[in-house]
């Protein structure tokens, strides 16, 4: 169940801000062709077009999993497991975004420190999702006690 915007605590707002930083970072890098220019850009045009499409799909998928997980307020163990699985899929999607970044950086021979902020945002998203999943363990205990 979603929480009304005015009643959200700071962590919910921060969580959404992290997602939008990740999505904006992806959009920015795509708009600027990962800052590749000249022959390097032309030589890798097809590769980059494929990666761009994949990265856009991954950011959409990430939002999809986050919104689905956030819409599930578990009242039984099945719902708790579904929410946990969906959070896990969001985490996996973040790792896929990082893998795409690595592939592009390797192909374009970009130094590791070039996209530090973008990578840090994705890692921050992963850590936030893991913290969310961990906090749900308290809910699991409550649901288990309720079933008994």
Instruction: Read off the pLDDT of residues 10-60 as tens digits, 9 standing for 90 and up.
Output: 466 777 889 999 999 999 999 999 988 899 999 999 999 999 999 999 999
Flag whether pLDDT at 128 surpasses 80: yes
- Domain 9-147 fold is de novo design (two linked rop proteins) (1.20.1440)
Report the predicted TM-score, pTM, of the whole model to 2 decimal places. Answer: 0.86
Q: What is the pLDDT of residue 12?
A: 64
pLDDT of residue 60: 96
What's the Cα-to-Cα distance from 146 to each of 31, 77, 139, rounded to whole Å? 51, 10, 10
Residues 6+ apart with CB under 8 A from 30: 52, 55, 56
* Cβ pair 85, 99 in contact under 8 A: no
């Amino acid at each position: 169940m979603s929480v009304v915007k005015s009643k959200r605590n700071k962590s919910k707002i921060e969580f959404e801000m992290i997602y939008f930083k990740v999505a904006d970072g992806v959009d920015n890098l795509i708009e600027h062709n990962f800052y590749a220019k000249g022959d390097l850009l032309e030589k890798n045009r097809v590769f980059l077009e494929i990666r761009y499409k994949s990265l856009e799909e991954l950011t959409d998928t990430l939002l999809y999993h986050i919104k689905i997980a956030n819409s599930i307020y578990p009242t039984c163990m099945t719902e708790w497991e579904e929410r946990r699985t969906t959070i896990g899929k969001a985490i996996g999607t973040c790792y896929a975004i990082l893998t795409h970044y690595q592939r592009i950086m390797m192909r374009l021979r970009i130094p590791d420190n070039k996209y530090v902020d973008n990578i840090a945002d994705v890692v921050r998203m992963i850590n936030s999702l893991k913290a969310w999943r961990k906090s749900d363990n308290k809910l699991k205990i409550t649901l288990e006690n309720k079933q008994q």
